[in-house]
Structure formats: structure tokens, C-alpha cells
């Protein structure tokens, strides 16, 4: 799993919570760094902050879903500036799910597990 967020505290918290559940977690402070990481490694899921300096999460999602090499990665849009309709916009840009900040760390592992189970090919988990 890859977590992309420009706030170090968010990266650290999400990394801690998900690694405790046994997920292999890597982090990137921005979309550009994340795209570099994806050249050599492909996670099943990316938690993607939508509001970042430089390339935003929506643009990154659009690029990933347009590329056959990365279009199968589950994308979870994460934002602290949640407005009505943002979830629909994220889905239109290719995100598979949407979370608003602050993230409830008690329910996050179940949320992630459910998405992974729903998206797994038959016979794979």
C-alpha cells in the first residue's frame, strides 16, 4: 500500500495504523515522488491526498487510471477540505473510494480490508 500526503504527521499516522494490521506500507510526500516509486513497485492500493502542492491527487488519479500499467491500482481519495460533491468528483477522476479527514483510525483497517476483498480477482487474497 502506498500513502501519498504532503503532511508528515498524516503519513506517519496512517503508516503506523496500517502497518500494525500487517500491510506493507510505503509513503510519499507528493505525487511526483509517488509516480517515481510506481516505476519499480506497484501496490494494490494508494491512499491519495487530494490537496497537495504541485500535482494534486485528482491529476495523479487521472494519470494512473489512464495508464494500462497502473489502472488496476485501487485509489482512495483522502481530503480534509471535503465539500458536497467532492466524493463524486474523485470518482469521476478514477478514484475507487473516498475518505474525508480526519480519518477514523479505528475504522480505517476495516475500510481498507473491505475494499481489497471487493476488488480481488476470484480465488486471490
Q: What pLDDT sits at residue 89? A: 79
Q: What pLDDT sits at residue 83? A: 57
CA distance 73 to 65: 8
Which of 9-23, 32-46, 96-110, 111-125 has the weakest average pLDDT? 111-125
CATH code for the structural domain at 2-116:
3.40.50.2300
**Domain boundaries of the chain, sorted by first residue:** 2-116
Quickly state the pLDDT bin for 63 (edges 50, 70, 90).
Answer: very high
Q: What pLDDT sits at residue 121? A: 62
28-45: average pLDDT: 96
CA distance 39 to 58: 19
Amino acid at each position: 500500500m502506498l500513502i501519498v500526503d504532503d503532511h508528515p504527521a498524516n503519513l506517519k499516522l496512517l503508516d503506523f495504523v496500517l502497518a500494525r494490521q500487517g500491510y506493507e506500507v510505503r509513503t510519499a510526500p507528493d505525487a511526483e515522488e509517488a509516480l517515481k516509486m510506481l516505476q519499480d513497485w506497484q501496490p494494490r492500493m494508494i491512499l491519495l491526498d487530494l490537496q497537495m502542492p504541485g500535482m494534486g491527487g485528482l491529476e495523479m488519479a487521472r494519470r494512473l487510471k489512464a495508464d494500462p500499467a497502473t489502472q488496476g491500482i485501487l485509489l482512495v481519495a483522502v481530503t480534509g477540505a471535503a465539500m458536497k460533491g467532492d466524493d463524486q468528483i474523485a470518482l469521476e477522476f478514477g478514484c475507487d473510494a473516498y475518505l474525508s479527514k480526519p480519518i477514523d483510525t479505528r475504522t480505517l483497517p476495516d475500510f481498507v480490508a473491505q475494499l481489497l476483498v471487493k476488488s480481488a480477482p476470484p480465488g486471490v487474497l
